[in-house]
Amino acid sequence: MKNRLKKVIWWCLGLAVALCLLVECLPHPKTPSRLAQLPLKGFGYASRDLPLEGAEAAVFQRAVVLKRLYQAGPDRFVLLAVDGEGDRHAIHDPLYCFRGAGWKLSQESYINLPGGRGRIVQLVRGKESAEAMYWITDGQTRHASPLSAWWQSTLRRLPGQHSGGAPVLVVVQPVTGGTLNWQDLLTRVPDLLTL
């Protein structure tokens, strides 16, 4: 009886691995990136595209990335948006990059967004301070969980489950390193929530 149970367990494990490999290899429909639809300007704001820095270009070489400098009233901020359609691994927790650049998390909070919430982090590096807001979205839901993004991306690959867009990581940072009124900013630049 014991040998039979072991065989059944190994058989189930092998079947699960084969199914995972099959799902990974299944083609899924390519959709145009939502990043291309984000306008450069709107009522009360304007932006311009920025080139990726060397490290950013290396990390995101297979992903579609949009980096822009925005001016919205007196506020200037940089948007970095990463579409995970071409590279699911490009969607990650931005804290890894902040920590890699020497920043430490000093405080965090969450902000309510349509379809979920985003994360606001205050960072310190020596005597410098910075703040950032980020979220991951499939076009319908918003959250700050890379694990949830991985799960959404995996479910999209199952046959008949191609609803929702590919996860997009959205990171917004003030240019001067200060802080912004995030709720006000999202009201003045509502196009950020169309990603």
- 0.85 surpassed by pTM: no
DSSP E strands in the chain: the ranges are 41-42, 45-49, 64-72, 75-83, 104-113, 116-125, 128-137, 142-143, 168-174
pLDDT by residue (tens digit) across 20-31?
A: 566 555 555 556
pLDDT score for 84: 78
Greatest Cα-to-Cα distance within the chain, rounded to the nearest angstrom: 74
Percent of the chain with pLDDT over 70: 85
What is the tens place of the pLDDT at every residue in 124-167? Answer: 999 999 999 999 888 888 988 877 777 776 676 665 555 567 78
